[in-house]
Amino acid sequence: MILNDRQRRAFAIALAAMAGFVDSVGFLSADGYFVSFMSGNTTRLGVALGTAPTHALVPALLIIGFITGVTGGALVSERAGVLRKPAVLAFVTLLLLAASLARAFDHHVLMMGCLVLAMGALNNTFQRDGEVTVGLTYMTGALVKLGIGLAGQISGKRQGRWTSWAQLWMGLLAGAVLGAFLQDRLPMACLWIASAWGTLMVAIAFKVPSES
């Protein structure tokens, strides 16, 4: 299990925090739409289709953009081989830089497009045999595993397995809090901060061992 390795776990938590940061900035910039939480956008799409179909375009485009980002990140991952992590994160960081420039020049739609592509691509960071092993921009699965781990802890069958998933969730939460705080006070700086964060993660990624 990847999160049992301390180095990979710390790296995953830092990336989840970055995802929370970006999603929080995107959420506050887009009237309650998400750039990484597609379950929320799917619910908004369903509500729009059921009540006001003319409002369905935005969540639909965000979902399509996210899938496109995942696909692009997967292609980068396949071609990068053992350098998968830094290659994927470099791709993500370039998209974050593009989003930063788009915001600086007041191109809101382009900014949101780059953000959702980046968050989709980010989920390719941790892979084994072509399968994503740790989702970084969505926490429902992590919370399910946390609950199952707690059950194992209570029953005495499994000890301590829930803590890694709790840490991953708290990383995303902490990033979201920081993103909201800075978006409220330094809105033009937020995405540059995210880009710098991504650049740092690229450098660290060279030192994190591959899963396969």
pTM of the model: 0.92
- pLDDT, residue 162, reads 81
- pLDDT, residue 3, reads 60
pLDDT tens figures, 134-174: 778 778 778 888 888 888 888 877 666 788 888 999 999 99
Specify burial of residue 129 (Cβ count, 10 A radius: 0-12, 13-18, 19+).
exposed
Rounded mean pLDDT, 177-193: 96
Domain boundaries, the chain: 2-205
What's the start-to-end Cα distance of the chain, in Å? 12
pLDDT tens figures, 48-99: 999 999 999 999 999 999 999 999 999 999 999 889 999 999 999 999 999 9
| Both tokens assigned to 67 | 């899938």
